[in-house]
Structure 1
Amino acid sequence: MGTTFHGPSPWPHITRAIRTRGPRHAAIAHLGEDAPTLLPLRAGDVLVVNASRAAVRAHATSPVALAHYVDAGVRVLSSPNLHANVIATDRRAVIGSVNASYSSTIADEAVVITDDPDIVAAVRKFIDGIDEITDVDQVFLDNATAIWQIGRAVPLPGIGGRNRAEPDFLPTPVTRMFLWHITDYQPGAAEEHERAAHTSRRRTSAGPAAKYQLEWFRIDTPGGRGRLQRGDVLLQVTADNQWLYSPAVVDSDPIAIPHTRRAVAYQLRTRVGLEPIAVTDAEVGLADVGHPNPRLRTDHRIVSASLRAALLRLWNL
């Protein structure tokens, strides 16, 4: 393997690199709730984190993630001075800037992954030598949960994800994303009335209205009603699987389409100026960042947080 550099989206490479036999030792300063997906550790592994009162109260380290690792048999330790992010397996070392959190998947991060035995040994020695540590047990978790509940998300020095230029366009974070093929649909009078009412009562701080437009999306499949929710992000693909359109945000509740049994329509808010991307180009780009099978030709919900982030990055969102 040698030594390789990965950025600005290194998490797929990290996750793949640490899927090895033997114990893994990690020192990751801060954990989001989705950390176990990015950093899949198991019984016998060691994880050092900064789960200090300040980090938990600022929602930089999640008690939910801590509890997941403890329940999995990982030895979890807290060090209030930890700011490093390194991992050592039996054969590889990861050294870089990444916390195990959603914000890290959308920020410009970088890591070096190496199988140099001297560096692997040095990283392991560094992790094992971290002092001022406390075992994370059930008492620690109960206390951390109480601190989290009275705290709030605030910036900490050296922590933070990308600041979006248009904060009101996409939800933060994007937790629900779907891919569907485009349907040819012309709204009737009832749907247009709903659109007019919705537009007249909605105000937005996202900038001039010319930056956005509303479109209609129809679902005919059984169970379509309620399948999407306000704030969901939708990617649409042309029927011939040639073009992938930029993300749209569901901007309405489901609207029943008259004279149909189950079909519903939704209003979508789209950003003007984001061009469609060829599906083949998107597949190549996603494979390059660790997603060789993104299923861009099949309607489905995108459950992988790292894949959602990689798809948004196709349009620099």
Structure 2
Amino acid sequence: MMQTICEKAEGRRIRAAVAYAGDGAADLLPVKEGDLIVVNGSRNALASGATSARLLRSWYEQGVLLFAHETLHAKVFVIGRTAFVGSANLSLRAHADCTVEAAIQSTDAAIVVGAREFIDEMAANAIEIDETWFDWAETVLVRAKGGPVLWNPNPPFEPNAPYDVWVGPEVGVDWTDEETALAQAGRRMHRVVGGKGRYGTIAISESATDESWLEQPDMVVLIRPRSVQLVRFLDRRRRGRAAMGFYRTDRECVRRTLGEVAAALDSTPAMLREGDWARMDSSRREALRDLFKLPKLPARS
């Protein structure tokens, strides 16, 4: 399958959502400027060598649009007007038929459109790979090139790439039918399979005309009337005149009181409840990172 995909890709536009792309793929897939590829860019995928930061940098310098998704396990390719959906990653083993793989190849227009939409959906819910991402990824120690990838060994809550910290009040409003439908669809999409109730998704109504400054995997200290809740930004979606921001929660994350957060920010509970959403500067970000025991990764911007 992988050999067929790589041969088919010569001179054609490539769009792909493929879990792992290792060093061995450097000379396999003939990428070009404007191609779009989503990979599993989690710390574990990098540390195992299943996904190669060196390979991704090579593609990035060729003008390929790259995205890192933390839980991607799919292998979907659209090469020109042909879709491939199968089991093979971008690796020498798959290309040389050293592993038993299976795939469906189709030129049916509906299937090709569906595959392209799936890839775009994965890109929209991933982190765009840029120099900031490489600054982090290239510090991950590769412990065993080509070794096994433990599926999702870390909880899908704490950030595993550069992130910003925000503070903002949760404002309660009555949702329109359009907003309710959008919130329900978003919650279903972001449900963590196998989470056993530990993880939830919060939907917050936003202005459909404003742009969001948040990006994955930013963290938000959400100020509620009498409490705070730490949440992770997932994405922002629009439908018609409705817009929703979606955030992941974790019942087992570190809990702090509103008073503790206010003290860390040299503020008052009333000021936090009545203020606007704000990105924390370096000193306040560090105070909240320590307060909530968040990973010591650099700020996104």
| Band the TM-score falls in, shorter-chain normalisation | 0.3 to 0.5
Structure 2 length-normalised TM: 0.46
Structure 1 length-normalised TM: 0.44
Instruction: Decide which structure has the larger Cα Rg and report it.
Output: 1
